[in-house]
Structure 1
């Protein structure tokens, strides 16, 4: 956490130095494993309240973290255990899985941008002996890039745009329809799921580049 904080401070200072410009076209790539964002209602139903959970680690996006507890997802055909819970709590519960996970569970969730829960699938969420049955909220998250407005200027893109990205690895691939998400609260990072990561032979530290 301390190293991450120092890196963020250095980046912010550099951005404020007169004449500084981002010159690198490299975008850090991260694999976003299956996870759940719980609403306050469902957090309470499964764990009593949020106070029963501690923060296990901070994530790359500022203010985002992983709790120390995990849950199990149960579908019509199977279950997936040891699923991470990310915080902070949200207005609505959202479950993000891969297409492979969906087949294991026996459901057909849509490909969606985070937060768009209309006409999504439901699933059972289990924590010990406690169970919550949601009727919507399960999705395959669209691959996307978090970036600041300053990053967007450098790359010549805007919020909501979709681009092609070449993943640089021993098994390079080009991913299309990568969603650009711009906010002052973000830190530059591309998120793909495990299926996409496996296709590109993902290794930590891997980067991508937007194809013009």
Structure 2
């Protein structure tokens, strides 16, 4: 009886191990450096008008780009200069940094999805002789994947879902709680910050795969 029970347990464990599979679709991974999204009001205060900022280069996501101007972030403990401004203008100013940046500045931002700025810290944003004392808006961006509805269907995921992703690099890691964001406007790519990229020994061309759970729950 004991041998039969052991055999059944082993079979259940093997089913769970074999049921954990990687999706065959490779997802381009991009490291999102520290940056800021300015509101139209703050853009006009710092640079007179949005017209004073020119598009430096387009980003991978359609309609997103980097302006040719930069700002300086000033926190209680430190300063970070040469911070990129991403466009177009947003309703609310949002500063996206890494944990390492947060320690440099002396702030304690939460991990949030873009746009979720309630109860976040602020800091000073400077451009030349002009500066804004931002009340709130500093976050560490939640790692996420952009994809179209067709890609979501192929990957068997839906908007707002959280998945595990294996980063296929020289130092492979599995990242959990990766947010899936679905829209016709998106292009397939996963965004992580510099701290996460360094942990995975990120290089240009690195890809990831969603780990699909089929029979991964513990055996009864």
TM-score by length of 1: 0.89
Aligned to 1:83: 83
Q: Which has the larger radius of gyration?
A: 2
Aligned length: 190
Equivalences for residues 50-199 of structure 1 within 5 A = 50-199=50-199
Moved over 2 A (4+): none
Partner secondary structure for residue 187 of structure 1: coil
- CA deviation digits over 1:36-83, x for unaligned, max 9? 000000001100011111000000000000000000000000010010
CA RMSD of aligned residues (A): 0.9
In structure 2, distance between residues paired with 1:81 and 1:194: 16
Q: Structure 1: give runs of 5+ residues left out of the alignment.
A: 1-22
In structure 2, distance between residues paired with 1:147 and 1:203: 21
Query: How much does 1:105 deviate?
Result: 0.3
Query: How much does 1:24 deviate?
Result: 5.3
In structure 1, distance between residues paired with 2:210 and 2:195: 20
Query: How much does 1:118 deviate?
Result: 0.4
Partner secondary structure for residue 86 of structure 2: strand
Partner secondary structure for residue 203 of structure 2: coil
Aligned to 1:5: none
Is structure 2 residue 209 aligned with structure 1 residue 201?
A: no
In structure 2, distance between residues paired with 1:147 and 1:184: 8
